[in-house]
Structure 1
Amino acid sequence: MTETTVDPGVVLGEDGRARPAWASVDPLLRDYYDTEWGMPVTDERGVFERVCLEGFQAGLSWATILRKRPTFRAAFDDFAPDTVARYDEEDVARLLADAGIVRNRQKIVATIRNAQATIELRQDMGLSALIWSFQPTSTPRPHRFEDIPTTSPESVALSKELRRRGFAFVGPTTMFALMEAIGIVDTHLLGSHRRGSSGVWPA
């Protein structure tokens, strides 16, 4: 059976499951969509990793970052904040020479600073609790991809707060993508088999 578009915006796959077009063809993206995207992430390391990867994604496709994620994890010591926070110029040079990641000096330096800021946040509420405190009272209910917003008042406020706390590459659009990825909002299309699967929001 070939894939056919099912109104109002999902694609019915050979397995009978309805997904958005971006997750319907590439096996890597399909698996990520089916098993990970939008599921709650609340541990510090997990949230920190996703903040970093969303920052590296700026200006690139998510597929590019997802394909490089194993190499990113190896290069950044599995995104352990305490380890990354101690990186020095030698580590920056090592990372800039690693063709398996995105070799952008500003983003690499920002990741190190973000690790330091994450440690500083432990004296307060912690990174995960801070980010989840910006969960809205309602979530989008999109029928089509075009219905999904790219920012929200909460992502704007979260971006502002994280910047105040010393984080970088945490703009409102990047933070909205983070909120989607870790379950703070549910932007699965209403016709998708994943809608409401996080348990955070009803279908």
Structure 2
Amino acid sequence: MADQIHCGWAPADDALYRNYHDTEWGVPEYDSRALWEKLQLDGMQAGLSWITILRKRETMREEFDGFDPEKIAVWDEQRIEKALQNPGIIRSPKKIEACIGNARAYLEMQDRGEDFSDWCWDFVDGKPIVHHFDNYRDSPTKTDISEDCSKALKKQGYKFVGPTIVYAWMQACGLYNDHEVGCPRHTEVQELTR
């Protein structure tokens, strides 16, 4: 893919960004826990660049117990303090507390028999919405669907899930295919749809 045109937001000279674009971004994600983890990472991004999250992602996975909601849901003040000492993560007490609350909300949904993946994919009727943008800058920052999903997540008790964060998450997880039409991934990710 090195000689082909890619989405303009993934700079050719940044291997980490380009690898994320070429292997993960926009690929339909159906695993509930993975969807939840990605939602937490998008929430952590609020006010920051995505490359900051990518650079810290592995350390955050280690610190946040592999983004296992059952482990995070029982974090106490001492565990929060330990996390806040780790320079390799986003050290925002509000974002960490939101992640703990979001883990509890996820588990409550599970206890009610709601599968997080099914719940998320219901917003797009079970299949990705395919946009046809020539340039990534033509993509909106939010949609009516991301607004509806944001409201529904907040009703479930989630934090750091505004409509712009939710839209970025939906793009990353393939609920929207927002690869530029000239990017080879635009077609490739469509073939990965269930």
- TM more than 0.5: yes
Greater length-normalized contact order (CA 8 Å, ≥ 6 residues apart): 2
Judging by fraction of residues, say which structure has more helix. Answer: 2
DSSP 3-state at the match of 1:196: helix
Residue of structure 2 in register with 1:101 after alignment: 89
Question: Of residues 97, 116, 124 in structure 2, which corresponds to 1:127?
Answer: 116
CA separation of 1:201 and 1:135: change in aligned 2, threshold 3 A: farther
Matched, 1:149 2:137: no
Residues 39 and 201 from structure 1, CA distance in 2 versus in 1: closer, same or farther, beyond 3 angstroms? Answer: closer
The Cα shift of 1:39 comes to 0.6
Alignment deviations for residues 56-105 of structure 1 (CA, whole Å, 9 cap, x no partner): 00110000000100000000010011111111111111111111001000
**Is structure 2 residue 183 aligned with structure 1 residue 192?**
yes
Q: Is the 8 A contact 1:39 1:182 kept in 2?
A: yes
Distance 1:159 1:168, change over 3 A: same
Identify which of 145, 149, 153 aligns with 1:162. 153
Q: Deviations over 1:163-200 (max 9, x none)?
A: 00000000000000010001100000000011122236
SS at match of 2:98: helix
Q: What is the letter of the counterpart of residue 73 of structure 1?
A: R
CA distance in 1, matches of 2:177, 2:115: 23
Q: For 1:14-93, what aligned pairs fall within 5 Å after superposition?
A: 15-23=2-10, 24-93=12-81
**What's the offset of the Cα at 1:48?**
1.2
1: CA distance between counterparts of 2:20 and 2:26? 10
Q: Is the 8 A contact 2:27 2:192 kept in 1?
A: no
**Which structure 1 segments of 5+ residues have no match?**
1-12
Secondary structure at the counterpart of residue 190 of structure 1: coil
TM-score by length of 2: 0.92
Answer yes or no: is the 8 Å Cα contact 2:61–2:67 preserved in 1.
yes
Query: In the alignment, what sits opposite 1:140?
Result: 131
CA contact 2:177–2:190 (8 Å) conserved in 1: no
Secondary structure at the aligned position of 2:47 is classed as coil
Counterpart CA distance in 2 for 1:154 and 1:196 is: 23
CA RMSD after TM alignment: 1.7
